[in-house]
Amino acid sequence: MTDYKDLKLKTDPIVEALFEIRFRKSDAMPSSALAGLVFSAYREQYPHFENLPASNVPQEVRDRDESFHYKATHRISGDGYAISVGDRVCSLSGRRPYKHWEDFKERILGLIEALKQFNVIEVVDRISLRYINFFESEEVFPDHYKYIDFSCNLASKKLEEYPTTVKTQIPVGNCKNIIQIVPGASVSVPPDVSETNGLVFDIDSIMDGPFEDFWSKVDGYLDDIHRTEKQIFFESLSELAKEHFGLAE
């Protein structure tokens, strides 16, 4: 099996990376209080605090309506990163430029350690890593598909010749992986403010609990998820993409 651990593209397509942890916590701790703890711990790194729309929904409604269970109610941000907090969820996201896995992982482990110290999480239900990749193309659709090894037929029609958006779930290792492919997408890629056309390749790798000794073994869990995501990414690239964007080991 190919080891993708240190493999990367010279031209980085990652426009956003996101870590999410879902959990069950003490009922006595509302999301606003947890957000306050997070903000206090990260005030210097993430000085901007905002209430999100879900925070306007009464707590009893959020508790009763499952659609709100994993919606963020508050967010803090700064220096290209943001931490979002909800009743049963906390996430760390970073936009381009993405430095490297070691840097992002260190930030994740710092957040997890802070959550552990707050002593409000009773059970961790799942963790996930999501990478949103964008392959810019000056050419018009359907040439956007040329960067991934994709083919799909509907009767006699080759769907890659049409503006077909794909969403699927593929199990790999200990993860379920939600993959989305969006050709003909318009994305604003920092530092530019204007939109650029191309193909979005979105991989959300999810590891469900129960976890054995989560707090002591989370480092390994993160590496497993990241390894799975990289395997899917590089196995999905076309040879043209590898040549065009360049491989760097």
Mean pLDDT of successive 10-residue segments in the chain (249 residues)?
Answer: 77 94 83 90 94 94 93 94 96 92 96 94 97 84 82 90 91 96 81 78 97 96 96 94 84
pLDDT score of 54: 95
CA dist., res. 210 & res. 25, Å (int)? 15
pLDDT score of 184: 82
pLDDT score of 6: 76
Percentage, residues of the chain above pLDDT 90: 65
pLDDT score of 128: 99
pLDDT score of 190: 64
Q: What is the pLDDT of residues 183-225, one digit of tens each?
A: 888 887 666 667 888 889 999 999 999 999 999 999 999 999 9
Its pTM stands at: 0.92
* 167 touches 151 (CB < 8 A): no
